[in-house]
Amino acid sequence: MQRSGYIVIFKPTLEIKKEGETITKGNVDAELVLHSMIEYSNYDKAIIVSGDGDFHCLIEYLEGKNKLGRVIIPNRKAYSQLLWKFRKYMDYMNNLDVKLKIRK
């Protein structure tokens, strides 16, 4: 994505061992909202990749300021109904599997 001109912000994560499994944890909610506002004047349109209803207020604000590009939902079958009103902006990663699969 960076090679295509997108600004990608990485967040530190924790790896927690639980019952023999390693789980990667990282809460990005507040950081996504904060960085969206810090960088607000540096982008034309935001692409939000999340199905979490916690981003409703950010998405609503960006839409109102004509700064919302797309909302990409990772799982079409599991996302917050709070985002339903933004469906005209939505794309689903489930639909991208053919385009993103590795070809031999």
pLDDT one-digit tens code per residue, 59-68: 999 999 999 9
Domain boundary assignment for the chain: 11-100
Question: pTM of the prediction?
Answer: 0.74
The DSSP code for 78 is S
78: tokens are: 């599991």
pLDDT tens across 25-53, in order?
A: 877 788 889 989 999 999 999 999 999 99
Alpha-helical (H) ranges within 6-96 are 29-38, 56-64
